[in-house]
Amino acid sequence: MTSRIRDVDEPIPDALLPVLRDLRATCGVRPDLREETPLWGGERVLMLFAPDGSGVGLRLGVAGSPAEQVADLADQVQEWAVEALWGQGLPAVWPECPEHPGTHPLAATVADGVATWSCPHTRTPVAAVGHL
Choose among 18, 87, 17: nearest CA to 50: 87
Q: What is the mean pLDDT of residues 91-111?
A: 94
For residues 90 and 86, what is the distance between their CA atoms, to the nearest angstrom?
5
pLDDT > 90: percent of the chain: 65
Task: Determine the pLDDT at residue 39.
Answer: 65
- 3-class secondary structure, 63: coil
Choose among 18, 50, 52, 14: nearest CA to 34: 50
Task: Determine the pLDDT at residue 22.
Answer: 97
Bigger pLDDT: 3 vs 88 = 88
Task: Determine the pLDDT at residue 3.
Answer: 42
What's the domain range around 33?
4-128
pLDDT(5) > 80: no
Q: Count the domains in the chain.
A: 1
pLDDT(79) > 60: yes
Task: Determine the pLDDT at residue 77.
Answer: 96
Task: Determine the pLDDT at residue 41.
Answer: 63
What lies within 8 Å, CB to CB, of 39 at 6+ separation is none
